[in-house]
Structure 1
Amino acid sequence: MKARPEFVTVITRRNPLIRWSDRLEAALIVGAVLLALLAIPFAAAAGSAAYAAGRERAAEQAANRQETTAVLIADAPPVHVRLDGVPLDEKVEVAARWTGPGGLIREGVVTVDAGTVTGNEVRIWLDARGYPVEAPVTDADALSQGIGVGTGLWLGWLTLVAMVLLACRAALGRGRAAEWAREWEQLAWKEKR
């Protein structure tokens, strides 16, 4: 005969020592586990949809953005140093010049590491009009977004289910404590007689 988990025994076995609240608590635990498991396909579907949307955005941005080289026409502010002497890795905006679409020379502000000096070349991304933009989203970014959305939704659902389960268990515990207190009062009353 196979051994059954204790909570299944509590739910199905006829035993006068098992209270209705014990059966309800065991059923709530089984229900919570089932709800957590049933949420996995929904979270996976949401993560898959987020991944697909990210891949679409990556393809669109790759088609509409181009990488080029900009030359700084001003010095970036100096690197700040922490009190312990370690330099901070910070990005700053500095004036630069680059050649945009159609061979037009443009000037504007680009983001570089602090301490970069005039004349240094930096790689930047341009939109279709020739203005600096962020680097396009990659497939790896889309993958991490999909995994993050799916995992986040499942963990959020799991947290909600766990909170409801804990609240129910606390209420059942208070009910059992009150029931015991009544039984002790009845026993004390019987002994007085």
Structure 2
Amino acid sequence: MHANLLLRLTRRLFPGRNPLATYGDRLEGAVLALGVVAALGMVPVAAAVGSEVYAAQGARVQVEQQSRHQVDAVLVEDAPSLGGAADSEAVIETTEAVASWLLPDGTVRRGAVRAPFGAEAGTSVRVWIDRSGQVTAPPATVQGAAFTAITSALVLWGVVLGAIALLFCLVRFAHMKIRLRWWHLEWELTAREWTGR
């Protein structure tokens, strides 16, 4: 099966040896050949873009890892119960509740944190805070940076492949329309000759 697919691809890339090949077939072959070359040429480009993204994300990881840390926040009021939550909140399984936490300089900060539904006042929850003492998202990780870099490279390569495929499909569609039109005209001429006889 793979051998047949490779043979068909080779014939489409190099239709010149076929005596029945038309200019449209040669154009399709040229577009396909350029597409293969472009797809292969985009591999190092996509890898370079992924490397740049990883470097940028790595710098972000380093900054966030150094500027964010976890503290224990104590709820100062009961968290809402699950019964009064909307369906979308119930899926998340946590809700907002007011809590207080201690900063490294001894200052007490108070604000909204994520806590389990129905958690009672006095419950301790772990939260991430930034240098200003505000609750923030967890710091980025090396694994996340690598995932973002790989995804960026694959998306770029996929966009190029999609553009190449679209160009080839447009050329093939136009070629088929022209070919069918010529066949129709030739059939009309042939039919008249047969009818004349």
Query: Please, what TM-score do these two structures have when normalized by structure 1?
Result: 0.86
Distance 2:30 2:177 in 1: 18
Which residue of structure 1 lines up, in the alignment, with residue 162 of structure 2? 159
For the residues of structure 1 that align with 2:116 and 2:55, how far apart are their CA atoms? Answer: 33
Distance 1:96 1:7 in 2: 65
Counterpart of 1:112 in structure 2 is 115
Distance, in Å, in 2 between the alignment partners of 1:28 and 1:19 is 14
Cα distance in 1 for partners of 2:39, 2:84 equals: 48
Partner of 2:7 in structure 1?
5
**Cα distance in 2, alignment partners of residues 65 and 88 from structure 1:** 27
- State the aligned residue count: 187
| Structure 1 position 175 matched with structure 2 position 178 | yes
Summarize the alignment of residues 36-115 of structure 1 with structure 2, pairs less than 5 Å apart. 36-80=39-83, 88-115=91-118
Decide whether the 8 Å contact of 1:126 with 1:132 is kept in 2: yes
The Cα shift of 1:13 comes to 4.0
Call closer, same or farther: CA 1:75–1:184 in 2, change over 3 Å: same
With 6-15 and 25-34 compared, the bigger mean Cα shift is at 6-15
What is the CA–CA distance in structure 1 between the aligned matches of 2:151 and 2:44, rounded to whole Å?
15
Post-superposition offset of 1:80: 5.0
Q: Which moves more between the two structures, 159-168 or 7-16?
A: 7-16
Q: Distance in 2 between matches of 1:75 and 1:18?
A: 79
* Pairwise CA distance, 1:6: 4.0
Counterpart position of 1:188:
191
Instruction: Please tell me the residue identity of whatever aligns with 2:103.
Output: G
Among residues 151, 155, 159, which one is paired with 1:148 in the alignment? 151
Task: Give the 3-state SS of the residue equivalent to 1:70 in structure 2.
Answer: strand
The answer to whether the 8 A contact 1:89-1:114 is kept is no
CA distance 1:37–1:114, change in 2 (3 Å): farther
Structure 1 runs of 4+ aligned residues shifted over 4 Å read: none
**Once the two structures are aligned, what percentage of the paired residues are identical?**
33
SS across alignment from 1:97: strand
Tell which deviates more after alignment, 26-35 or 122-131. Answer: 26-35
Q: Check conservation: 1:101, 1:128, Cα contact below 8 A.
A: no
The runs of 5 or more residues in structure 1 that have no matched partner are none
CA distance in 2, matches of 1:126, 1:35: 47
Alpha-carbon RMSD across the aligned residues, in angstroms, is 2.3
Letter of the 1:162 counterpart:
A
Query: How far apart, CA to CA, are the structure 1 residues paired with 2:103 and 2:31?
Result: 64
Could you report, residue by residue, the CA deviation over 1:131-150 in whole angstroms, capped at 9, with x for unpaired residues?
11111101111111111111
> Which of the pair is proportionally richer in helix?
2
Structure 1 residue matching 2:110: 3-state secondary structure: strand
Give the whole-Å Cα distance in 1 for the aligned partners of 2:126 and 2:27. Answer: 64
DSSP-derived class of the 1:102 partner: coil
Q: Secondary structure at the match of 1:163?
A: helix
Distance 2:16 2:162 in 1: 30
